Amino acid sequence: MTKRVCVAQIGAPHGVRGEVRLWTFTADPTAVAQYGPLETEDGMQRFEIAAVRPAKGHLVARINGIDDRDAAEQLTNVKLFVARERLPATGTDEFYHADLVGLRVEDEDGNEVGAVIAVHNFGAGDILEIQPPEGGAMLLPFNKTVVPGVDIEGGRLVVVPPLETE
């Protein structure tokens, strides 16, 4: 299955002509309209963004085929995905969250720590959720101090977990 990346989430309707509030997860918020058709998480529906314009803290988008408020309301909270290969290449030390999920996690000595199962951002930077082999989960900040090495091609990343305090 093709790896997909969540690039936006539809919010509440904006006005009565089918426009929606749109929150994007792209470096350039308006670039979301250039990726071509976007799909729902289950891949069952496809949407093409006809136009976007900036608003306070989000975009206002017009989606082809959505022409009234009732149709727009049906899309509230729908996440929009695009195939990973349709996104621009990343720069040095830049990563798509989708590229990190699934990577094997090792310490500096090559010992298995677990696997990345999610990447979160609660406003203070990215956090890796790692599942150790014995179960449970650990959260580590995604920064150069804690994660000095990322090898996407090799399918792994190296972590230096912070010291535990009592």
pLDDT of residue 79: 97
Number of domains in the chain: 2
Average pLDDT of span 145-155 = 94
CA distance to 20, 111, 154, per residue, from 97 (Å): 25, 23, 16
* Tokens representing residue 28 in the block: 């350039």
What's the whole-model pTM score? 0.76
Residues 26 and 47 placed together within one structural domain of the fold: yes
The answer to whether residue 63 is domain-embedded is yes
Are both 70 and 127 inside the same structural domain?
no
Please indicate, yes or no, if residue 45 is contained in any of the structural domains.
Answer: yes
Which helix H or strand E contains 98, and what residues bound it?
helix 97-100
Do residues 12 and 77 both lie within one domain? yes
pLDDT band at 69 (very low <50, low <70, confident <90, very high): very high
Side chain identity at 129, as an amino acid letter? E
Same domain, 82 and 19: yes
Kind and range of the H or E run holding 70: helix 69-73
Strands 104-106 and 79-83, sheet pairing: unpaired
- The answer on 112 and 74 residing in a single domain is no
pLDDT at 163: 67
Tens-place pLDDT, residues 73-92:
999 999 999 998 888 888 88
pLDDT in tens, 98-114: 899 999 999 999 999 99
User: Is 20 exposed, middle or buried (CB count within 10 Å of its CB: 0-12, 13-18, 19+)?
Assistant: buried
Rounded to whole angstroms, how far apart are CA atoms 100 and 98?
5
